[in-house]
Amino acid sequence: MKYNFDEIVNRRGTYSVKWDGGDLIKQMGLTTRYDEETIPLFTADMDLPVPQPLVDALHKTVEHRIFGYTIFPNEYYQAIQHWFKQRHDWDINKEEIVFSPGTVHALNIAVKAFTKPEEGVIIQRPVYPPFTSSITANGRKVINNALIADDDGYYQIDFDDFETKAKEETTKMFILCHPHNPTGRVFTKDELRRLAEICAENDVLIVADEIHGDLVRQNQTFIPIAKAADSTDQIITFTAINKTFNVAGLHCTNVIIPNPDHRKTFISVMGFHLPSPFTVSALIAVYNEGEDWLEQLKEYIDGTMDWVVNFLAENMPKVRVRIPEGTYIMWLDFSQYELTPEEVHDRIYNKANVLLEDGKMFGEEGLQYQRICIPSPRPIIQEALERIAREFEDVK
């Protein structure tokens, strides 16, 4: 089936956080302006229709007309195993799979379960804000191994700094974001192996958020850290269908925990959770029949990223941007305008009426940046960037 991702599906009036959540978004402090003309591109949530097999599966679930307590059938686990074996050559045992109703939820559970108050957790800023909040909200210490960007905006790991911080006696955990959000890095096998070696040598548990792992450029290969490491005994991996297939509202994260003691601890801290029947239907459908849709999606996103880079080069050449290796996020550097972050924010959010995400939310390393999520029909992205470009025409 050929999908038309240029189709604009009206999401207003569908309980969408992006399109209906203006009051909540303002309360969160993301913007002071939100109205019917706002174009929201701030969150990792697609405005693109999902695979038809998923729609069919959910219709079948609805037509049953009873939505009671739901189990995980064997087909659920088999679909996960099939997907990761086929796409990543990763063998996952059924008993290693632990369901969580969300990735941020699972992240907080991991921090609570495997660290104590005042112990240290390494993150690599600029990074997804809930990494920081999961540490600070639980009374743990943030240890920042900041990624280093070169003049072309390509980020790399400071391994000397990482090893120094991993050796600290109170460092107990490393939260890996891979592919990295917001920089878009897809780390190489050698990089992942080195991170795993340092953590193993210093008894640091790796919690790997890999929920963007299916969303890499068509010329890129994503390698799960569990595949790159010599041992998975000290690795916990978060996987999910929510980013890949645009089903964040169905709350379906699967945590892969090979170590049985870690698995027991994680489950005991998280508590008992059952899924929605829609969640089970969705996962089975997309992992068994969603690959064709995903390949078309990746081609469309790659095309949109090419368009964004070309548009900025022609209309806002002072904005530095590179096509990320993974994710559907672009990390825009506004530093060449020599405006304050507040002035950049005002021109984009208040004057252009486009809602992005201020880079400062990802750490001080992001002060001059804006994060834009581009998995929307290309006409929407075009209108948003044209609005923004007009507001910077007077800046020499």
Q: Which pLDDT tens digit goes with each residue over 15-28? A: 999 999 999 999 99
Structure tokens at 241: 């269908």
Quickly state the pLDDT bin for 395 (edges 50, 70, 90). confident
Mean pLDDT computed over 123-149? 98
Give per-residue pLDDT as tens, 346-370: 999 999 999 999 999 999 999 999 9
Look at residue 396 in the predicted model and tell me its pLDDT: 67
What pLDDT was estimated at residue 151?
A: 87
pLDDT at 333 over 80: yes
Give residue-wise pLDDT tens across range 37-56.
999 999 999 999 999 999 99
pLDDT-based confidence at 281, cuts 50/70/90? Answer: very high
Mean pLDDT over each residue of the chain, to the nearest integer? 97
Residues with Cβ within 8 Å of 87's Cβ and at least 6 positions away in sequence, in order, are 214, 291
The residues pairing with 177 across neighbouring beta strands, listed in sequence order, are: 209
* Distant-in-sequence, close-in-space partners of 216: CB < 8 Å, separation ≥ 6: 179, 186, 222, 298, 325, 326
Cα separations (Å) of 248 from 94, 103, 152?
23, 10, 33
Tokens in use for 323?
A: 């096509």
- Coil, helix or strand for 198? helix
Token representation of residue 184: 């878009």
CATH 3.40.640.10 is right for the domain spanning 68-289: yes
**336, 306, 315, 312: which is closest to 151 by C-alpha?**
336
Q: What's the average model confidence in pLDDT over 188-202? A: 98
CATH number assigned to the domain with residue range 17-51+292-391, chosen from the 4 options 3.30.70.360, 3.90.1150.10, 2.60.120.10, 3.30.200.20: 3.90.1150.10
Domain ranges of the chain: 17-51+292-391, 68-289
- Burial level of 387, CB count in 10 A (0-12/13-18/19+)? middle
- 3-state SS, residue 275: coil
- Burial of 279 from C-beta contacts in 10 A (0-12 / 13-18 / 19+): buried
Among candidates 207, 228, 185, which has minimal Cα distance to 88? 228
pTM for the full predicted model: 0.97
